[in-house]
């Protein structure tokens, strides 16, 4: 088994949420029946502000790998131009994007021409009915067309993210894994977490990655696989398959010692850990108050130096009471 991370703890990877809005309503991401107060346009970091932070703050601190997330990042106007500008910055080593795939059939070619080469697409089910149950939308075919478009224009690796929900889509894990046999696709099975919809988590619970591997092993066999990307997945491969299988086991296993990332929300909060809401810092206020690049770098460097290892079982150290933001607001 190979681990898709470099020796830690060097933080060199920033997840950037471009906006908090999404055109899906995934049950594991947003509480059902509740209204989310989306950010006003003026509250969101502009593309110019983001590029300035990347050039003057993050790159000088050794953070040179970037993933664009949301909400749904492709909903933001001008995203292709921003991708092109980001990919063209000197010192940037890697740019990737996570999307629900709804707009990919229209934008895949433009994103590729802009310089993007790596993309993650959420596909939690191969069954349109189950897909609608999870996402709240009848968009399975549109997403599948987006996946095909991304494959056609040349995204490599092309990754599909699957959040595994007990009693909902966990029975599909072997079928989803089979997508990697004849395609150079990389499926990532993600253990369900309570951030985003704690009530739904309490109802459904989660399935540990070893159980999922056992189901795949029973049908196909399973061996070690080659690493792709910057994430914390444990990588396996069905014998003879073109693609790989990754398991992101934030519930059953602690990978804090391998964590190389921080997260920037759409409104400028830099979060040292998905589970650490207490120690985040407000870069937007400092930036718009006229703080120099040196001051901003010092703030970020301090956060990086104090980045704590907080596993789910130890999450009380990272939050006062309950988490104030859903997964869509954090950027995943």
Is 58 exposed, middle or buried, given 0-12, 13-18 or 19+ CB atoms closer than 10 A?
Answer: buried
For helices 79-87 and 104-113, give the axis angle rounded to 10 degrees: 30
Length of the chain: 332
What is the pLDDT averaged over residues 282-303? 97
80 Cβ contact partners less than 8 Å away, ≥ 6 residues apart:
107, 110, 111, 114
Question: Which whole number is the average pLDDT over 229-241?
Answer: 85
Contacts 24+ apart (CB under 8 A), 221-224: 224/1, 224/2
Arch. (CATH architecture) of 2-330: Alpha-Beta Barrel (3.20)
Q: Which residues lie below 8 Å from residue 326, measured CB to CB, with a gap of 6+?
A: 29, 30, 31, 36, 195, 196, 197
Mean pLDDT computed over 1-10 = 47
Output the pLDDT for position 261.
87
Instruction: Give the pLDDT band (50/70/90) at residue 71.
Output: very high
Return mean pLDDT, the chain.
88
- Residues 206-234, mean pLDDT to the nearest whole number: 87
Q: What is the mean pLDDT of residues 296-301?
A: 97
* CB neighbour list of residue 236: distance below 8 Å, 6 or more residues apart: 1, 213, 216, 222, 223, 224, 225, 244, 245, 246, 247
Q: For 270-297, what is the mean pLDDT? A: 90
- Structure tokens given for 287: 């930036």
DSSP run (H or E) holding 330 = helix 327-330
pLDDT of residue 1 exceeding 90, the answer is no
* Strand (E) or helix (H) holding 80: helix 79-87
pLDDT of 204 reads 79
Write down the residue that tokens 């959420």 correspond to. 122
pLDDT digits (tens, 9 = 90+) for 26-69: 988 877 766 678 899 999 999 999 999 999 999 999 999 999 99
Cβ atoms of residues 326 and 30 within 8 Å: yes
Q: What is the mean pLDDT of residues 278-284?
A: 89
Which whole-number Å values give the CA distances from 90 to 54, 64, 83, 85, 93, in the listed order?
A: 11, 10, 14, 10, 9
Higher pLDDT, 137 or 196: 137
Inter-residue contact 26 to 79 (CB < 8 Å) = no
Mean pLDDT value across residues 126-149? 97
Q: What is the CA radius of gyration of the chain?
A: 19
Of 10-24, 224-238, 299-313, the one with minimum mean pLDDT is: 299-313
- 158-164 and 118-122 beta bridge pairing: parallel
| pTM (two decimals) | 0.89
Q: What is the pLDDT of residue 202?
A: 78
- What would the mean pLDDT of 288-302 be, rounded to a whole number? 97
Q: How confident is the model at residue 317 (pLDDT cuts 50, 70, 90)?
A: very low
Q: Which residues fall within 8 angstroms of residue 243, CB to CB, at 6 or more apart?
A: 157, 179, 180, 181, 183, 184, 185, 186, 187, 237
Q: How many whole angstroms separate alpha carbon 100 and alpha carbon 102? A: 6
């Amino acid at each position: 088994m190979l681990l898709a991370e470099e020796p830690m703890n060097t933080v060199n990877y920033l997840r950037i949420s471009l906006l908090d809005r999404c055109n899906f309503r995934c049950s594991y991401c947003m509480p059902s029946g509740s209204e989310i107060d989306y950010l006003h346009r003026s509250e969101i970091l502009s593309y110019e502000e983001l590029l300035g932070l990347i050039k003057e703050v993050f790159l000088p601190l050794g953070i040179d790998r970037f993933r664009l997330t949301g909400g749904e990042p492709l909903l933001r106007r001008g995203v292709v131009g921003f991708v092109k500008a980001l990919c063209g910055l000197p010192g940037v080593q890697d740019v990737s994007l996570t999307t629900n795939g709804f707009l990919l059939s229209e934008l895949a070619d433009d994103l590729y021409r802009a310089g993007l080469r790596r993309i993650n697409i959420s596909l939690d089910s191969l069954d349109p009915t189950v897909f609608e149950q999870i996402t709240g939308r009848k968009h399975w075919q549109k997403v599948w067309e987006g996946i095909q478009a991304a494959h056609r224009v040349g995204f490599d690796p092309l990754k599909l993210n699957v959040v595994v929900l007990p009693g909902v889509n966990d029975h599909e894990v072997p079928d989803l894994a089979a997508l990697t046999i004849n395609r150079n696709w990389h499926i990532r099975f993600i253990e369900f977490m309570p951030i985003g919809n704690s009530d739904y988590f309490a109802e459904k619970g989660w399935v540990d990655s070893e159980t999922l591997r056992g189901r795949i092993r029973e049908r196909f066999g399973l061996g070690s696989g080659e690493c792709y990307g910057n994430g914390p997945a444990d990588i396996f491969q069905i014998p003879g398959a073109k693609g790989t299988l990754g398991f992101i086991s934030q519930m059953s296993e602690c990978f804090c010692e391998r964590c190389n990332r921080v997260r920037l929300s759409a409104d400028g909060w830099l979060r040292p850990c998905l589970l650490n809401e207490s120690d985040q810092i407000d870069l937007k206020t400092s930036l718009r108050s006229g703080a120099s690049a040196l001051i901003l770098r010092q703030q970020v460097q301090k956060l990086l130096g104090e980045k704590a290892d907080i596993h789910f079982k130890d999450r009380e150290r990272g939050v006062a009471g309950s988490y104030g933001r859903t997964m869509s607001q954090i950027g995943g």
